Structure 1
């Protein structure tokens, strides 16, 4: 369980996390996204983690290392760094009174950011130096933060509320509200100033299930963009490159070009004892695709 001093408007985010905490692991395979194609070598599938606990929210922080949020047996969550060369793990945080989620590397490369649940229940964005120095609080008056991504040394943040809002702070006094009623996936489109997100105001039904629009906002030009719709029943997506989107549904991975409507199957990920792909991360330089899957009970 997370901290007990939780404001009521935080409950949706924290309940969502707790439902996934029982049994998720991080799995990796070799993959290459090129142009409009994705190829995967399923013979390289292997576990990065293998525990009956919460290992989730992976994000590459450089060509060698992956950061993720991990729970210990007391329910405390820290940021762990995995090195692909040494295959070793290092605690970036070890905070018994705080819980850290959603790690990402900042644009300057000097910090790993994380959504931190503080002792009083506040959820704010903190910066953890990669040299293991003292952490710093960012945007002290913006909370509760759920998810985010970086552009131009500023974080576009999903802030929980009624409704959930996507904010981008040009400065402390100039905070742009990009959209409201957004989903949990917030992703910068590679090599662009566009922050992409799921717009829950724009939905339709496909085979009896809802799909939501994937939209984008150009921070520089202040223009809106449309990138089609999600797969039915799922919300997590990533960009494999500037043009390719990837989602998982069940054990199947599907991709498509941002300007196309049809999702193309890349195949099923069959790992004994696992099901249900959720979060994903991809390194074009390392040519590794990382997946979070739920352990079968």
Structure 2
């Protein structure tokens, strides 16, 4: 994980998901960060709060919690000699997890108590970790190397290799015992854009199946429900029902002066808010 990051900001958008389908109200997009540096990797931890990684002027990265009802920001970490990335909520709800770049440049998964107590190291023997995705109390870990590897630590002595050369987005499929990722071993060109296959790893069976192609030219994805995927490209958001269609449907376009290139996406548990990362354009 490079510390030289693109300048980005976070936006919140109103959404709706009911019997009529999923809808994004692009005109409601509201910028929640105001930083010339890096505010990225948003993740909802409940219906009112999200966490994200934020860079300060000294080049240090901390985890920030934001409550959009009170519009209050709270530092979950404030570490001068460490940087924290990719925050998420643990299954027990007591910790914010994050990839921490330590003083000696180690990259491992740490747990930061919600009550701001002392952090705890998880999987001390697995590194360097670039990204991860929770499945209940266990995290699938993207281990940086040649090639990168996606592993699932069933136990300390049983660290199972799911795949190699995978994408950075590692997401649990809702209401399924599956971890989903991009398989980058076979480049496919669709509509002039490089795309990759979405793969689902069954935790219990230890088997991997295909969910079809990801959106061409895109890297990050988000589940709305167990069958509905979102991906962004440029200023557009696309949706696909993995159980019904192989085609991606454009469902929203954002026209925000000075911003473009959607990357990270996160949706609130009640499906009423979407958090999007946009690049600051020159």
- Could you say which TM-score interval applies, normalised by the shorter chain? over 0.9
Aligned residue in 1 for 2:160: 176
- Report which of the two has the higher share of helix: 1
Q: Any conservation in 2 of the 1:274–1:293 contact (CA below 8 Å)? A: yes
Aligned residue in 1 for 2:188: 204
Aligned residue in 2 for 1:89: 73
Q: Any conservation in 2 of the 1:280–1:289 contact (CA below 8 Å)? A: yes
Would you say how many aligned residue pairs link Structure 1 and Structure 2? 281
Aligned residue in 2 for 1:229: 213
Q: Any conservation in 2 of the 1:33–1:241 contact (CA below 8 Å)? A: no
Task: Name structure 1 gaps, 5 residues minimum.
Answer: 1-12
Partner SS state of residue 4, structure 2: helix
TM-score by length of 2: 0.96
Q: Any conservation in 2 of the 1:111–1:129 contact (CA below 8 Å)? A: yes
Q: Pick from 82, 86, 93: which aligns with 1:98? A: 82
Structure 1 residue 274 and structure 2 residue 259: aligned? Answer: yes
Aligned residue in 2 for 1:6: none
Aligned residue in 1 for 2:250: 265
Structure 1 residue 287 and structure 2 residue 264: aligned? Answer: no
TM-score by length of 1: 0.91
Q: Any conservation in 2 of the 1:77–1:101 contact (CA below 8 Å)? A: yes
Task: Name structure 2 gaps, 5 residues minimum.
Answer: none
Q: Any conservation in 2 of the 1:253–1:268 contact (CA below 8 Å)? A: yes
Q: Any conservation in 2 of the 1:35–1:243 contact (CA below 8 Å)? A: no
Q: Any conservation in 1 of the 2:16–2:271 contact (CA below 8 Å)? A: no
Distance 1:110 1:69 in 2: 19
Q: Any conservation in 2 of the 1:33–1:284 contact (CA below 8 Å)? A: no
Distance 2:40 2:218 in 1: 17
Output the aligned Cα RMSD.
1.3
Q: Output one character per residue of 1:9-32: Cα deviation in whole Å (capped at 9) or x when no partner.
A: xxxx31xx5242xx2000011012
Distance 1:216 1:288 in 2: 26
